[in-house]
Chain A
Amino acid sequence: MKSFLPLLGKEVRALFYSPIAYIIIGVFLFLMGYSFTLTLFVNKFATLIHIFFQSAGLLFLLVPIITMRLFAEERKAGTLELLLTAPVRESHVVLAKYLASMAVVLAMIALTGAYAIVLGMFGSPDWGPIYSGYIGLALLASTLVSLGLTISALTSNQVVAAIVTIGISFLLWTIDSLAAMVPDALERILISLSLLAHFTPFATGALYTSDLGFFVSSTLLALFLAMRALARR
């Protein structure tokens, strides 16, 4: 534990000192703000459902940009050798990178809370779906960050890490659309792997422990695989 906090501090500093985090947060908030304002003026509904789905869509593009450098950059620069030959546990290295990346993504998501405040000030929104929507976004982000982290641990090329992460994320998002074309036995598996199928209830105000379990277990599995990838040397 002694070495974990310095590692976490290092990762948080590396992310927040680089302009990338601020550019990503800025672009995300600009696009979401534009969408929120436009939809509010056109529909005049005090809801954030469309914001949750659009945020999820943007997370698929922006999270890989945050995670691509986590291991790939260190591997290429050689600092991974410095880090892994110090008396630190591989699990601490992985967890520190995961938590630091989650801090950036959660800060980005939390700042859209301004939209909920605006709705609360000028309307009377149903708060249940708003709370569950934010929980869903945080859980989706957790799965995407841990997936990106694992892919980054497998390569020294940041672009490859980003593209592969985007590809796998989109495949998992839409995999349930293939369900109708496969035999029944596979259909259930494909639906149960779909990020969209597990995210939709959160965005629309329904909380199921099975969806919660899916995001938590997929995060844990990806973090475990990242540790294994790091240990294979």
Chain B
Amino acid sequence: MTPIILAESLTKYYGARLAVDRVSFDVRPNEVMGLLGPNGSGKSTILRILTGYLRPTSGTASVAGYDVVRHGLEARSQLGYVPEDVPLYTHMRVNEFLELMGRIRGLDSARLPAAIDAVVERLSLGRVRTLLIAKLSRGYRQRVAIAQALLGKPKLLVLDEPTNGLDPRQIIEVRELIRTLSAELSIIVSSHILTEIERVAHRAAILLDGKLLSVHTLGGQDGNTRLRVRLRTADEAAVRSHLNTVPGVSIVEAVSTLGIYVLDSVDGTASAVRALVQGGFAVEEVSVSGTGLEELFLRLTEETGP
């Protein structure tokens, strides 16, 4: 299957500072790829190279088979991009802005109204389509930005920190949107928030200091029974010895210094929590994890840390 994104040894220097160091990965059709890493790890730089805003110092990248440098125009016509700070022409009305971006994306007068109506409906922008963008809340601006990126039916949607500055309800809406859109196109989404990537992505590329540490397949999207619990104890041995006596519950991974344990529970959440409480452990947090991403992230960043 031809990848939608193919990045090979991407490297970017800002002056003498190395921002991206020989990063290679691919994104397949209808796949959601998450770029995960702390601030300054090179996520935005990689996305800016893929979208043609920055030139790589070395290495190559292609979008739908078009090299982003040599065939930049063709590559850019295959993607829609929502930059991190959601820059928009705030002096324009939503309709006007979508019309401009649609025309720039090559939609003619015959196709433009229907294309705008479709993204307005999809992003629930009907109420605000005649308002000035300057008057919109951050949540609506984010929707307008995503709407413009979807005009012209691109094969790839590039989202840089799409949930930044949104309230919890808007974050859930963005997550749902990403899930729905992945049926139609490929998405590459960056975030420094692990759970965001865990909840929307099929695979996660973990970055630190410009280096790609690992590309991890996330299997938990369809209701894995793996649990992530946080206990008020760092005594991993005590937890293990107690759970060894409980049938159907076992420890998969532990970051005991933080009191985090990943458990496998045959009988679901309730029996695992019951076992822990019966063992006298104070359970502070329980979530269905299933992906192991947090543990992997902590381990990888610990290994390469100071």
Establish whether residues B73 and A85, one from each chain, have CB atoms under 8 Å apart when the complex forms: no
B contact patch SS: loop
CB-defined contacts of B104 to chain A, threshold 8 Å = 3, 6-7, 86-88
Task: Decide yes or no whether B37 CB sits under 8 A from chain A.
Answer: no
Establish whether residues B52 and A85, one from each chain, have CB atoms under 8 Å apart when the complex forms: yes
Minimum CB–CB distance for A232 against chain B, Å: 8
Task: Decide yes or no whether A208 CB sits under 8 A from chain B.
Answer: no
Select the residue from A3, A17, A81, A84 with max chain B CB neighbours within 10 A.
Answer: A81
Say whether, besides A10-B100, A17-B91, A233-B54, A78 and B106 are in contact (CB < 8 Å).
Answer: no
Say whether, besides A10-B100, A14-B91, A81-B48, A86 and B105 are in contact (CB < 8 Å).
Answer: yes
Within 8 A of B (CB), among A113-155: none
Say whether, besides A6-B103, A7-B104, A81 and B77 are in contact (CB < 8 Å).
Answer: no
Minimum CB–CB distance for A1 against chain B, Å: 11
Task: Encode contact with B along A1-22: 1 for CB under 8 Å, 0 otherwise.
Answer: 0110111011000100110000
CB-defined contacts of A87 to chain B, threshold 8 Å = 73-74, 76-77, 104-106
A90 (CB) vs chain B CBs: closest residue: B72
Say whether, besides A85-B81, A87-B73, A79 and B88 are in contact (CB < 8 Å).
Answer: yes
Task: Encode contact with A along B65-95: 1 for CB under 8 Å, 0 otherwise.
Answer: 0000000011011010101010111110000
Establish whether residues B106 and A79, one from each chain, have CB atoms under 8 Å apart when the complex forms: no
CB-defined contacts of A3 to chain B, threshold 8 Å = 103-106
B90 (CB) vs chain A CBs: closest residue: A77
Minimum CB–CB distance for A231 against chain B, Å: 8
Task: Decide yes or no whether B13 CB sits under 8 A from chain A.
Answer: no
How many A residues are at the interface, by size bracket? 20 to 34
Of the candidates A5, A6, A9, A78, the one whose C-beta lies within 8 Å of that of B87 is A78
Establish whether residues B87 and A82, one from each chain, have CB atoms under 8 Å apart when the complex forms: yes
Task: Decide yes or no whether B51 CB sits under 8 A from chain A.
Answer: yes
Task: Decide yes or no whether A228 CB sits under 8 A from chain B.
Answer: no
CB-defined contacts of B89 to chain A, threshold 8 Å = 10, 14, 79
Task: Encode contact with B along A80-107: 1 for CB under 8 Å, 0 otherwise.
Answer: 0110111111000000000000000000
Within 8 A of B (CB), among A194-216: none
Task: Encode contact with A along B43-65: 1 for CB under 8 Å, 0 otherwise.
Answer: 00000100111110000000000
Minimum CB–CB distance for A2 against chain B, Å: 5
B145 (CB) vs chain A CBs: closest residue: A82
Of the candidates A18, A81, A89, the one whose C-beta lies within 8 Å of that of B53 is A81
CB-defined contacts of B73 to chain A, threshold 8 Å = 87-89
CB-defined contacts of A82 to chain B, threshold 8 Å = 81, 83, 87-88, 148
A233–B148 alpha-carbon span in the complex (Å): 24
A163–B299 alpha-carbon span in the complex (Å): 53
Minimum CB–CB distance for B95 against chain A, Å: 13
Select the residue from B74, B88, B103 with max chain A CB neighbours within 10 A.
Answer: B103
A77–B76 alpha-carbon span in the complex (Å): 21
Of the candidates B55, B76, B100, B108, the one whose C-beta lies within 8 Å of that of A85 is B76
Establish whether residues B106 and A77, one from each chain, have CB atoms under 8 Å apart when the complex forms: no
Task: Decide yes or no whether B101 CB sits under 8 A from chain A.
Answer: yes
Of the candidates A10, A85, A89, the one whose C-beta lies within 8 Å of that of B51 is A85
Of the candidates A2, A5, A7, A84, the one whose C-beta lies within 8 Å of that of B52 is A84
A81–B108 alpha-carbon span in the complex (Å): 23
CB-defined contacts of B53 to chain A, threshold 8 Å = 81, 84-85, 233
Establish whether residues B87 and A77, one from each chain, have CB atoms under 8 Å apart when the complex forms: yes
A53–B88 alpha-carbon span in the complex (Å): 41
A6–B102 alpha-carbon span in the complex (Å): 9
Minimum CB–CB distance for A229 against chain B, Å: 14
A17–B134 alpha-carbon span in the complex (Å): 15
Minimum CB–CB distance for B25 against chain A, Å: 20
A44–B260 alpha-carbon span in the complex (Å): 93
CB-defined contacts of A2 to chain B, threshold 8 Å = 103, 106, 108
Establish whether residues A81 and B91, one from each chain, have CB atoms under 8 Å apart when the complex forms: no
Say whether, besides A3-B106, A85-B51, A78 and B76 are in contact (CB < 8 Å).
Answer: no
Minimum CB–CB distance for A154 against chain B, Å: 16
A231 (CB) vs chain B CBs: closest residue: B55
Minimum CB–CB distance for B98 against chain A, Å: 12
Known: A2-B103, A7-B104. 12 other contacts (CB 8 A): A3-B105, A6-B103, A10-B89, A18-B91, A78-B83, A78-B87, A81-B48, A82-B148, A84-B52, A85-B81, A86-B101, A87-B73
**Sample of 9 A–B contacts (CB below 8 Å):** A3-B105, A5-B103, A6-B100, A77-B87, A79-B88, A85-B48, A85-B52, A87-B106, A233-B53
4 nearest interchain CB pairs? A78-B87, A6-B103, A87-B77, A85-B51
Residues of A within 8 A of B (CB): 2-3, 5-7, 9-10, 14, 17-18, 77-79, 81-82, 84-89, 233
